[in-house]
Amino acid sequence: MADRFVDDYLLYLLARASSEVSAQFHADLKQYGLQVSEWRVLASLSDGDGMLTGELAARALQQQPTMTKTIDRMVRSGLVTRRRGAPDRRQVRVYITPEGRRRVENALAAAKRHEAEVLSEYSREEADRLKSMLRTLIERNGAAAQDD
């Protein structure tokens, strides 16, 4: 590692850590026939019961128009369904299908194994501290950066 500015730059360390740590798992996702954004949608939908397009966009780190297209694809391949919002007819609620649930199960198991492996080099305390710092970063920069 040369002694360049970026080597000690927080934004770069974050982006690179995310990229490096995710690389192997994202490669595995292809073997389950899932794109990264599809995986994020299915993982988000696998717990609750339906989410709005906008909520999914925020969670999958995509913009809303991109999420509309992601959902288009997933509807076409039978992973999710769309239903028009109940009282508020502007909304579109997205639900995971049985096929989607089937497809995401292995990926969820693989994600848990992979995370355990990455964290195996850390003590429980270190791992908690890392996650806690990341959560703090997310909270502090989430919607507060308006007044810059």
Binding site for its own copies (CB under 8 A): 2-6, 8-25, 40, 43-44, 46-48, 59, 61, 108, 111, 114-115, 117-119, 121, 126-127, 129-131, 133-138, 140-142, 145, 148
CB of 69 to DNA, least distance (A): 5
Half-sphere exposure of 7 (CA within 13 A, CB side): 4
CA distance 101 to 49: 12
CB of 9 to its own copies, least distance (A): 6
User: CA torsion sign, 93 to 98 to 100 to 101?
Assistant: positive
Q: Is 37 in the site for DNA (CB under 7 A)?
A: yes
Among 10, 87, 138, 141, binds DNA (CB under 7 A): 87
- Give how many residues touch DNA by CB under 7 A: 27
Neighbouring residues of 59: CB distance < 8 A, sequence distance ≥ 6: 40, 41, 44, 51
Among 39, 45, 53, 103, binds DNA (CB under 7 A): 53
Q: Which long-range contacts (CB under 8 A, 24 or more apart) does 48-51 make?
A: 49/95, 50/83, 50/93, 50/94, 50/95, 51/93, 51/94
Among 44, 68, 81, 97, binds DNA (CB under 7 A): 68
Among 30, 83, 102, 113, binds DNA (CB under 7 A): 30
Beta carbons of 101 and 46 less than 8 angstroms apart:
yes
Q: Is 63 in the site for DNA (CB under 7 A)?
A: yes
Residue 4 three-state SS = coil
Residues that bind DNA (CB under 7 A): 30, 35, 37, 52-55, 62-66, 68-73, 82, 85, 87-93
